[in-house]
Amino acid sequence: MATSEIREKILNDVVFMGLRSALGIIFVLHGISKFDPGFAGALPNMGLPAEMQIPIALAELVPGILLIIGVLSRLSAALISIIMLGAIFMIKGASSITGKGGVELDLILLASALVIMIVGPGRIALAQGIKKIPRCLH
């Protein structure tokens, strides 16, 4: 294998690690912020019961952590994709791409999650060291 091919493969893995980490950090921060009691008070205004606070917070926090460490990345990205579809269509109503109520950030997060779900975590992931995890769940 030529040196340029090796560098290209390493660069791809670093890019996937960066994408996973960035998406994971965003969702860890968003998940932690949803444990605030003020979020539970805002849920009825979004058409959701206040009891959904903890499940929503955990649905963002746990996949975020798993993406950062590179375990169950495809499953985590799939869950984040569902969350983002809910945010785009249920919460924001997909009324506008930009401006107030715009979904541009949500679309970028959805696209990033879909890339991870389809391509996988890359070789720089904890799942690569754990051989008992099925490849489809990496």
Judge whether 73 lies within some domain. yes
CA distances from 23 to 2, 13, 121 (A): 32, 15, 12
Q: For 37-93, how does the pLDDT look when each residue is reduced to its tens digit (9 = 90+)?
A: 999 999 998 888 999 999 999 999 999 999 999 999 999 999 999 999 998 888 877
Judge whether 87 lies within some domain. yes
Judge whether 1 lies within some domain. no
pLDDT > 90: percent of the chain: 54
Show Cβ contacts of residue 76 under 8 Å, excluding neighbours closer than 6 positions: 62, 63, 64, 66, 67, 116
Judge whether 6 lies within some domain. no
Judge whether 5 lies within some domain. no
Sign of CA pseudo-dihedral 63, 68, 74, 78: positive
- The span from the CA of 69 to the CA of 72, in Å, is 9
Give pLDDT, residue 46. 85
Q: Give the domain extent around 132.
A: 13-137
Number of structural domains, the chain?
1
- The span from the CA of 81 to the CA of 27, in Å, is 12
| pTM to 2 decimal places | 0.85
Judge whether 99 lies within some domain. yes
Judge whether 8 lies within some domain. no
